[in-house]
Amino acid sequence: MTRPPILQYFNADHLPAPLREVSEPFARLADGLCCLPDNAERSVALRKLLEAKDAAVRAALDVAQPPRRADRPFPSFDARSGDHR
């Protein structure tokens, strides 16, 4: 049985430890799904699991940010200094 190419996207080695802890359960589940028959539904299951993993990692990245000023609802970028404001 060959490993589906999508499994490469479940690798969490490049992530910092806190994000790796979020990502790794999804990788284990993806490996487990590979015992299912190789058909379209397994592909859908793996793809949606990847979407869920990506969302969970992004959720773990979400940190409290100061509220935006009403007159500047979007961040600005200073090209000279490279600062985001």
Evaluate whether residue 51 is within a structural domain. yes
Q: What size, in residues, is the chain? A: 85
pLDDT at 78 over 80: no
Q: Which residues pair with 83 in a beta bridge?
A: 78
Q: Give the residue with greater pLDDT, 45 vs 69.
A: 45
**Domain housing 20:** 11-62
Q: Give the residue with greater pLDDT, 12 vs 69.
A: 12
Instruction: Please state the domain count of the chain.
Output: 1
Residue range 15-68, pLDDT digits in tens? 999 999 999 999 999 999 999 999 999 999 999 999 999 999 999 987 544 556
CB proximity list for 50: less than 8 A, separation 6 or greater: 6, 9, 10, 26, 30
The answer to whether 46 and 33 have CB atoms below 8 angstroms apart is yes
CB proximity list for 56: less than 8 A, separation 6 or greater: 22, 23, 26
CB proximity list for 74: less than 8 A, separation 6 or greater: 68
What is the pLDDT, as a whole number, of residue 62? Answer: 79
Evaluate whether residue 43 is within a structural domain. yes
